[in-house]
Structure 1
Amino acid sequence: MIDVVINRKKYTLLNYFEQIPESERNRVEYVSIDLYDTYRSVISFRLPKAKICADPFHVIKNYNDTLDKIRKRAMQSYPKDSIEYYLLKNFNWTLFKDEVHENEAKWNKKLKRYINYPQILDLILEISDELKTAYDLKSDYVFFNKQSDLNNAENDLWKHIEEMKKSNIPEILKLKNTLIKWSQEIVNSFTFIDGRRITNGIMESRNGVAKEIKKNANGYKNFPRFRNRCLYCMNKDTKPNYAGSHKSIRMKGSSRGHYTKNK
């Protein structure tokens, strides 16, 4: 990890990158980002020679979020004591797995039968035609994400977008607009460097560590101290920089406040 900034506001990021010499910024070839307009705007302005790549994980996360909205809409059309509601409520996770593996059939009291997870998924997809269509589209995108390459990605992506248009599902059409908006960045993400595809994977794991650091400390009010702790924990050769750490730069959140301990 190179550094930690206090927030992701546009002004903060523009100011941060401005402090890096232009000659160094012009040597950056690729940047992988979430589907966040501010990141794209800042990178285009401060790192004009870099190709922007959309992180594949976040595109699929958007697809899963869309699928979940359709699931909830379908679920709300059934009584809470119905089999359909039960399946959509309790086994929704089967929709978001790339593949639901075969397992030993177990007795299900609600369904009054022995059943395994792939069979449960089949029952869920029979509940709603729109949910089935959305699930198939998501599966097609996952296949495209794994199997396409830089030479074919643009053509494959636009074929998929055309299939999304045909669905006429409101949530899918909204997601389609997102894919169109980020189409070039999605195509760029199929670039491989030293045999590895460009992703945010490493930084996502670092974000997880940063959250654990904050959690274990019961939160931080002083941002420089939090930054020092993150860099120290995640970089073996980093020494804490105490300059300015005595100045309280407040982080997001509020104090816990007073509480009464139960006896």
Structure 2
Amino acid sequence: MSDCIFSCPDIDSFCLLDRLGLRVEAQSVGPDRAVLACRLYRAESWCESCGASGVPRGTVGREWVHSPYGSRPTILQVRIPRWACKACGRVWRQDSSRIAAPKRRLTVLAAWHALKLVVVDHMSIKSVAQTLGASWHATFQAVHDLGWDQYLSDPTRFDGVEVIGVDEHKWAHTTGVEQFVTVVIDLTPVRKRTGPARLLDMIPGHSKKVFKAWLAARPESFRNSVEIVSMDGFTGYKTAVVEELPDAITVMDPFHVIALAGTALDQCRQRIQQATLGRRGKTGDPLYGARKTLRAGQGYLTKRQWDKLEDLFADENHVCVEVTWHYYQQMITAYREDNRKTGEQIMQHVINDLAQGVPEGLTELRRLGATLKRRAGDILAYFKHPHSSNGPTEAINGRLEHLRGIALGFRNLPNYGLKDKLCVWGG
């Protein structure tokens, strides 16, 4: 404590009212809220029309919600002077824009406090409104205006974007509304290792038309700067990129490639289960009991799990599952290979194998092979551009789900999009 310098208590400084040009004259502190009666530091009585000095014409009372005084919601009661000009007859009210934005309930500092709670602390608008002692609408409007002015309306927000990720996200689980949005992520900071990915936009719908229209609406400088687009297996996104960004490289994300193979493995297991036992799997069935072991990477299998697979594959009825599992593991190995050239060769070998003469009994592998052959260029492009993974896009999708959960769901897509953009920006 010896290094501390103390001065007389000053409530103006404590509540940061001096930054708003206010001085406290009286206070009423109750258990639920604090009310501070304030006045302006300086009276500005000059007429903007003719420059003459005005004469007092009474005051107008205003109330604003301020940053909390300790743990209590704080209300500012301010008397705003009115003036009249004898020279030109003009009557005006003293400017209070330093205190709060016009027609807004929250002070400038309260608006910044609310934005911080939403962006950094990930609080819902309802919780922030309760903290401030304001209405939901007033709080949301303050966060909307300040967030839009400071960050979302920045014309340079799309500058320098070289790698983007695109994916769909289900924001609503009710009928009567567009349930999906297309999420566009800037992956450039991840590629350059300068920071995390950031949310660029959320577009209602998830189709080729939606994404193509969004790309077409971007300035030419943006479209020329995008070098790589990472995506899932949806051909609509691929076609939109080919038509609007002909020079960009399309990369199919490893997560979605492995998901295709995993789905083929599950479908093969389920089909053989029905063919051999005539029912869906249940406890005690070999295939059903090994469903999780089959999906695990072979590098993580324990001896007990290897023994379970050996017993499973010893049954001739399970040959299709064994072959499908073999290619599934090869694809995982390709992505886990430290040497990218070797990984590319393994993946190319898998694509070539599945594109040529797969027996008719291997229905799922034939279907998987057709998909891999059709998207071979996008799949192999990952090995030349390893920092273009759509992993950060999936991570941001997870954060969007978390934010929706905090708010117990959203019914208004613009409000949802605004909060997501602000929160992902602040994360």
TM-score range, shorter chain: 0.7 to 0.9
Quick check: 1:12 aligned with 2:206? no
Secondary structure of the residue aligned to 1:8 is coil
CA drift at 1:27: 1.0
- Determine if contact 2:333/2:343 at 8 Å carries over to the other structure: no
Q: For 1:185, which of 378, 401, 408 is the aligned residue?
A: 378
Matched residues in 1 for 2:414 and 2:216: separation?
20
* 1:118 positional shift: 2.6
Residue 202 of structure 1 deviates from its aligned partner by 0.2
Q: Give RMSD over aligned pairs.
A: 2.6
Q: Deviations along 1:26-77, whole A, 9 cap, x unmatched? A: 1111111101110001111222221111111111110000000010011112
Kept after mapping to 1: 8 A contact 2:340/2:384: yes
Moved over 3 A (4+): 79-85, 148-158
Q: Whose helix fraction is larger, Structure 1's or Structure 2's?
A: 1
Aligned partners of 1:22 and 1:82: how far apart in 2? 55
Question: What's the TM-score, normalizing by structure 1?
Answer: 0.75
Question: Which of residues 125, 144, 156 is equivalent to 2:334?
Answer: 144
TM-score by length of 2: 0.48
> For 1:109-258, what aligned pairs fall within 5 Å after superposition?
116-127=304-315, 128-147=318-337, 156-164=346-354, 165-168=356-359, 169-192=362-385, 196-236=386-426
Q: Which amino acid aligns with 1:75?
A: Q
Deviations 1:167-210 (A, max 9, x none): 41111011100001001111111123xxx532100000111111
Q: How many angstroms does 1:117 deviate by?
A: 2.6
Q: Is there any run of 5+ residues in structure 1 with no aligned partner, and where? A: 104-115, 238-263
Which structure 2 residue ranges, 5 or more long, are not aligned?
A: 1-198
Higher relative contact order (Cα pairs below 8 Å, separated by 6+ residues): 1
Q: Relative to total residues, which structure has the larger strand share, 1 or 2?
A: 2
Q: Which residue of 2 aligns with 1:259?
A: none
- Cα distance in 1 for partners of 2:281, 2:376 equals 41
* Letter paired with 2:302: E
| Counterpart in the other structure of 1:241 | none
Query: Taking structure 1 as reference, are residues 132 and 231 closer, same or farther at Cα in structure 2, changes over 3 Å only?
Result: same
Match of 2:247 among 49, 71, 84: 49
Measure how far apart 1:87 and its partner are: 2.4
Per-residue deviation at 1:81?
A: 11
Equivalent pair of 2:270/2:280 in contact (CA under 8 Å): no
Is it true that 1:94 corresponds to 2:293 in the alignment?
A: yes
The DSSP-based 3-state class of the residue aligned with 2:250 is strand
Aligned counterpart, 1:62? 260
- 1:111 alignment partner in structure 2: none
Task: Say which SS state the counterpart of residue 197 (structure 1) adopts.
Answer: helix
CA spacing shift, 1:80–1:152, aligned 2, 3 Å:
closer
Whole-Å separation in 1 of the counterparts to 2:280 and 2:384: 49
- Rate the CA distance shift 1:11–1:162 in 2: closer, same or farther, 3 A: closer
1:38 partner amino acid: G
- Alignment length, in residue pairs? 222
* Greater mean alpha carbon deviation, residues 181-190 or residues 15-24: 15-24
Percent sequence identity over aligned pairs: 22
The 5 Å alignment of 1:17-36 reads 17-36=215-234
TM-superposed CA distance for 1:89, in Å, is 1.6
Q: Distance in 2 between matches of 1:230 and 1:125?
A: 48
Counterpart residue type for residue 78 of structure 1: L
The separation in 2 between residues aligned to 1:68 and 1:7, in whole angstroms, is 29
